[in-house]
Structure 1
Amino acid sequence: MAAAYRVDAQRWSELFSELMDTIEARFARPESRRRVRDFVAGLLAPLPVKNCWTIAEHAGDDGPGGMQDLIGRASWDDALVRADVRDFVAARLGHPDGVLLVDETGDLKKGNQTVGVQRQYSGTAGKIENCQLAVHLSYASPLGHSLVDVALYLPKSWTDDPQRRVEAGVPDTVTFATKPQLAGRLIETAVAGGLPCRWVAGDEAYGGDPQLAAALRGHRLGYVLAVACSHRVPTCLGVQRADQIAVGLPKQAWQRISAGVGAKGYRYYDWAFIALPQAADQHQGHHWLLIRRNRTTGEQAFYRCWSPELVALHHLVAVAGRRWSIEESFQATKTGLGLDQHQHRRWKAWHRWTTLVIAAHAFLAAATTASAETSEGLIAITVNELRRRFHALIINPARRVADAIAWSIYRRQHQATAKSSHYARQALTEP
């Protein structure tokens, strides 16, 4: 088993270097090229909190200024780096039946100065909170899955406020866009960039938008998009609610099919689908209403589906099941890579932090696929386990005692300066 680990570690190191060599080419200055590699390595490290301070200490820098400069001031284009990550994912995980997954996630924040923040519903929190929302694009194939792109959702309270835009560095070209519109742009960019894909999947926020569905048909991309139970579809008996159609289905219309492999076994549900020829438009193709029923509770979920060619029910079910992988990606990037731990208020810094987290996640996804571990009695290596092993075997350098002492002194000096400033400010107004 130890021999297998050594082989895997060497392969992981090669993959990491391959990705970082490509990304580093986007940076003109050698200092930035070195720092971006150290920054991604810091994101992969098991640090209790991830920010420019902790990442700089992990890299052995003498202060956080270099990492802060990389995220806030250095000259580089985060969109081009995400394009490099997309190409890396296409080369390592690409498959003709690839699925593009769209979903948003929220980062809870305090105050009102962080770009995009306002009180809004967050699925992460399950309620209305003060947070940022971002639409993410993930790629899933039989080889694995990874985040590949992102778009920050900017509410009208931001797009319509010139002062807030200037303070947060929001580009003049950025205007208000709904989440489905942001998702459509991400998908269009991925298709134009050559990411091999056949399907798109998303939740009700995207399935309820007819413009997004039409755009996908225009790209000849099949889709399985969740819709509300009240969603109305055209049938030979007129326009009907999705839940009304489900009530009238005979027992033989339902088939028990697994939506994929879960931690505790196959995810079996009862499924039915109904052809919707009345929904045909200029894009031709085939429309369906897909219905999922929980075997225990009877709870139902509904999906609008389209494909340029006829497909069997189990194909649509497989695409619907793929949607859950983006939740796994959110969990992995938040718990292990610091996706939501950024402390940056401005537009550019937020996109740069998020882009480098996406790059770290793409490396882990590719490395798990390349892992040669086949020992009996072990599950396939997970992203979280690979991250821990990669740090222990490849990243973690021999640390000098002097480095730890120097950082302790640096932090305490910074805290002493801040304390003095707070007391001096208070003395101006308090007796």
Structure 2
Amino acid sequence: MNAADRFDQYLEHLSEGLGHADRRAGLRGYCTGLMLPLSRKSVEPMAARVDPTHASARHQALHHFVAKAEWSHDEMLRRVCQWVIPKMDFTGGGWWIIDDTGFPKKGRHSVGVARQYCGVLGKQDNCQVAVSVSLASTQASLPVAWQLYLPEDWAADPERRLKAGVPEQMRFATKTQIALQQLQALLVAGAPKHCVLADAGYGVDNAFRQALSDMGLAYAVGVTSAVVVWPPGVVPLPPEPYSGMGRPPVMPRRTSALQPMSVKTLAQSLPSKAFQNISWREGTNETLTGRFAAVRVRHAGDNTGKARLRPEQWLLIEWPADEAEPRKYILSTLPEETPIHALVGIAYQRWRIERDYQDLKQDFGLGHYEGRGWRGFHHHAALSIAAYGFLMAERLEADKSVGGKKNFAARQVPPLPKDYIPRGSPARPAARDNFDHHAAPAAELSADRQTRAVSLLRQSKRKATLMT
């Protein structure tokens, strides 16, 4: 079976979650467009390449499919998982990776746009931000949950909500709250309880870490240097005896000799022999190696130290020998017997989500959606992940058959018609032979290829769960 036939099977599987058979052409056309090497993967250029002889009609059809049609992006992601995750090998471990990514955006009418921190720009600017959860193994990772962060001023503005089609039940939630809701939904659907990885933007929130523990999930999350802990070997005194008035005391008592300290101060108090050089993976050009120390601590409360006594957990510190102070701090509830090499290897699996975002944005048009509505924003993201998921599944299968050779399906571009006029251009523009600056041989994955029923995939009408 060649790649085009497997693509047919994949689309057949996804289309069973669309609700109406007439949406299948939209699914095929949109996913095909996202997989073509176009410099811009918004609806118009994709329509022109997918169906060059009927570009205007295909543009309208694809726009309706992504922006208006009432199908569930959550169901689309679930079906992508059903196809890709069974091909991932979890014998070396599995992880849930939480992160968010920004999309620079002008104006104020696109759903969720606000002046906020944008990681792509590295500063505060007008942008949209989405929160995601990815499932990762030692081979690959895949976003399995995706939701736009709706700032407070948007959540409280009924006029803008109505125009952008924000669902009525959507209320303001912080990014950490969104991530916890996503994880809870995954667990309810039968997902396994893997360790959770997140950066300090999430990990510094004590309520977030406690919620992960309450869900039965181990974690390895970044924290800031100001977080306060009880250092190794220090056992604080129990709370003051209850007087019978008010709430019983919960904070441990302190003396001049029993005081918590910031993780930065603790790191600076450690002897140099507490640190060792550890390599955790092969990078593009060299093995990635760092200088680490790991100690057992108890969290004592953000930067004030005012919190009830918590169980012991790991504090992992990365401190390069040539830098004046530590680079990273990570709190983890992985078992006490976890060796430092394994602790570093797990905590630093978070790089995979950065690679997901990079590939999705550069190769699958994740940030190219030009509409303003809630539905279109989530539909476009789900379809970008669907296209990404197919090629990931192809790579995973190729890795099994040819010992790791990356044998992706060919992605070629059909030519533009000579009389095609891009929207917004003068009525009689000059010839555009170099539109998008790509050559244009015939496409292997045709948007009009006839699909065939596959009985195995039709069995998925039953309620499915995420299994690894």
- What TM-score do you get using the length of structure 1 for normalisation? 0.83
Distance 1:202 1:72 in 2: 31
Task: Provide the residue aligned with 1:425 in structure 2.
Answer: none
Distance 1:257 1:107, change over 3 A: same
Shift of 1:369: 1.6
Distance 2:7 2:86 in 1: 14
Task: Provide the residue aligned with 2:27 in structure 1.
Answer: 36
Shift of 1:182: 1.0
Distance 1:370 1:100, change over 3 A: same
Of the structure 1 ranges 116-125 and 94-103, higher mean CA displacement relative to structure 2 is found in 94-103
Shift of 1:75: 2.4
SS in 2 for 1:260: strand
Shift of 1:246: 0.4
Distance 1:155 1:240 in 2: 34
Say which structure is richer in helix.
1
**What are the Cα deviations for residues 262-318 of structure 1, in whole angstroms up to 9, with x where unaligned?**
111111001111112577x99997511110122443542101111356422222211
1:166 matched to 2:158? The reply is no
1:240 matched to 2:253? The reply is no
Distance 2:150 2:157 in 1: 11
Distance 2:402 2:386 in 1: 29
**What are the Cα deviations for residues 348-407 of structure 1, in whole angstroms up to 9, with x where unaligned?**
11000011111112222222221148889xx842xxx83xx5314xxx5xx5x7x6146x
SS in 1 for 2:37: coil
1:300 matched to 2:327? The reply is yes
Task: Provide the residue aligned with 2:216 in structure 1.
Answer: 220
Task: Provide the residue aligned with 1:263 in structure 2.
Answer: 284
SS in 2 for 1:390: coil
Shift of 1:88: 2.7
Number of residue pairs the alignment of both structures matches: 392
Is this contact kept in 1: 2:220–2:334, CA < 8 A? no
Task: Provide the residue aligned with 1:3 in structure 2.
Answer: none
Q: 1:313 aligns with which of 336, 340, 343?
A: 340
Q: Structure 2 matches for 1:27-426, cutoff 5 A?
A: 27-60=18-51, 61-63=54-56, 64-93=59-88, 95=90, 97-235=93-231, 236=234, 237-276=258-297, 287-297=313-323, 299-307=326-334, 310-372=337-399, 380-381=405-406, 386=408, 389-392=409-412, 399=414, 404-405=417-418, 408=420, 411=422, 416=427
Shift of 1:238: 3.0
Shift of 1:206: 0.6
Distance 1:11 1:210 in 2: 50
Distance 1:269 1:168, change over 3 A: same
- What TM-score do you get using the length of structure 2 for normalisation? 0.77
Task: Provide the residue aligned with 2:452 in structure 1.
Answer: none
Gapped runs of 5+ residues in structure 1? 1-9, 418-431
RMSD: 2.8
Shift of 1:194: 3.1
Distance 2:122 2:205 in 1: 22
Report 1 or 2 for greater relative contact order, CA contacts < 8 Å, sequence distance ≥ 6: 2
Distance 1:316 1:219 in 2: 21
Distance 2:10 2:336 in 1: 36
Distance 1:416 1:124, change over 3 A: same
Task: Return the letter of the residue paired with 1:318.
Answer: G
Larger Cα-atom Rg = 2
Shift of 1:94: 5.4
Of the structure 1 ranges 50-59 and 84-93, higher mean CA displacement relative to structure 2 is found in 84-93
